[in-house]
Structure formats: structure tokens, C-alpha cells
């Protein structure tokens, strides 16, 4: 099962979190995950992916315009895939939640199945998606890893071929 991780990153925080998503997802047997910047998207891989994670920095309390532009202009068909999100921010309360909810709205419009694990697996909860302050403390990074592993596990179980 392929999992694509598409991110926008200018100063590498979101890129580092994207790499941790890959690490977490690949803990699940049979999962091949690949992270890719919006500037270098492997379209063939995304087309084959069952899950697409979208990672964004928080810009003025929401997701970045670069990510919005990529989603608005990409010709890749996202409908029917599971969509998950993660965001980085500089400050606690800096708007990452709204960035994620806005991104999730976009995924719904695209026809994706939005998924966050939520409170479904107990602590630590992932309310809307993973959040890191900059590239995250060790604890935040561990939550990212677990989030990705849980998504991979649950999608593998629930969305059989």
C-alpha cells in the first residue's frame, strides 16, 4: 500500500515532519511511503497511493498559499483517496488547527475521505492532524510518528483492495 506525503516547506520544518510521517507509516508491514515537496511531486506515486498526507506551514493562522495553489492547480485525481493533514507553526496557538481544518475542507471538496484518527485509539489524541512547533520537540515528533503509523494501520485494515 502506497502512502504519499505532499508538503510545502520553505525553511525545512514541515519537510522534517514529512520525513517523520514516512518513518511512522513504514512501520506498518507492506506500506511504502514517500515524501515529496509540492515543487517535485511524483505524480505516478500519488496516483497509486491510497493515502495522501498534506503538510503545510501555518501562514497568518491558516495553511500556506503555496499549498493552496498546488491543490488548486494540480491535475492529480485525489477523489476516493484517504486524506490526512499535518501542520507546523512557530507558536502554540499560532493557527495550526485552523490551517489543518481549512486543508481538510479542501480535501472534502476534492472528494477525499478525510481522516485524523482523532480520539479513536486513545492517547495521544490527534484532533485534526499532527501539529509541531517548528520541527517539533521529541514528544511532538513521536506523536507524528504514531499518527502516521495509526493511519497506515487503520487504512490497511479498513480499505482492502
Ligand X SMILES: Cc1cc2nc3c(=O)[nH]c(=O)nc-3n(C[C@H](O)[C@H](O)[C@H](O)COP(=O)(O)O)c2cc1C
Where along the sequence are the contacts to ligand X (CB under 6 A)?
9-15, 57-61, 88-91, 94-95, 134
Least distance to ligand X from the beta carbon of 117, Å?
22
Q: Which is nearer to ligand X, 12 or 77 (CB)?
A: 12
Cβ proximity to ligand X, 69 vs 77, nearer residue: 69
Q: Rounded to the nearest whole angstrom, what is the least distance from the CB of residue 148 to ligand X in the complex? A: 17
As measured in angstroms, the least distance from the Cβ of 19 to ligand X is 12
CB nearer ligand X, residue 15 or residue 102: 15
Q: Give the chain as a 3 state SS string.
A: CEEEEEECCCCCHHHHHHHHHHHHHCCCCCCEEEEEECCCCCHHHHHHCCEEEEEEEEECCEECHHHHHHHHHCCCCCCCCEEEEEEEECCCCCCHHHHHHHHHHHHHHCCCEECCCECCCCCCCECCCEEEECCCCHHHHHHHHHHHHHHHHHHHHHCCC
Amino acid at each position: 500500500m502506497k502512502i504519499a506525503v505532499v508538503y510545502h516547506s520553505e525553511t525545512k520544518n514541515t519537510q522534517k515532519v514529512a520525513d517523520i510521517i514516512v518513518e511512522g507509516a513504514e512501520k506498518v508491514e507492506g506500506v511504502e511511503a514517500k515524501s515529496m515537496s509540492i515543487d517535485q511531486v511524483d505524480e505516478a506515486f500519488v496516483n497509486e497511493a491510497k493515502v495522501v498526507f498534506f503538510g503545510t506551514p501555518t501562514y497568518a493562522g491558516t495553511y500556506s498559499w503555496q499549498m493552496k495553489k498546488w491543490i488548486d492547480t494540480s491535475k492529480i485525481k485525489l477523489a476516493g483517496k484517504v486524506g490526512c493533514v499535518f501542520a507546523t507553526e512557530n507558536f502554540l496557538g499560532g493557527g495550526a488547527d485552523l490551517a489543518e481544518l481549512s486543508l481538510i475542507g479542501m480535501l472534502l471538496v476534492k472528494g477525499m475521505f478525510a481522516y485524523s484518527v482523532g480520539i479513536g485509539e486513545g492517547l495521544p489524541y490527534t484532533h485534526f492532524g499532527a501539529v509541531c512547533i517548528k520541527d517539533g520537540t521529541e514528544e511532538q515528533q513521536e506523536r507524528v510518528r504514531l499518527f502516521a503509523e495509526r493511519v497506515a494501520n487503520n487504512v490497511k485494515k479498513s480499505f482492502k483492495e
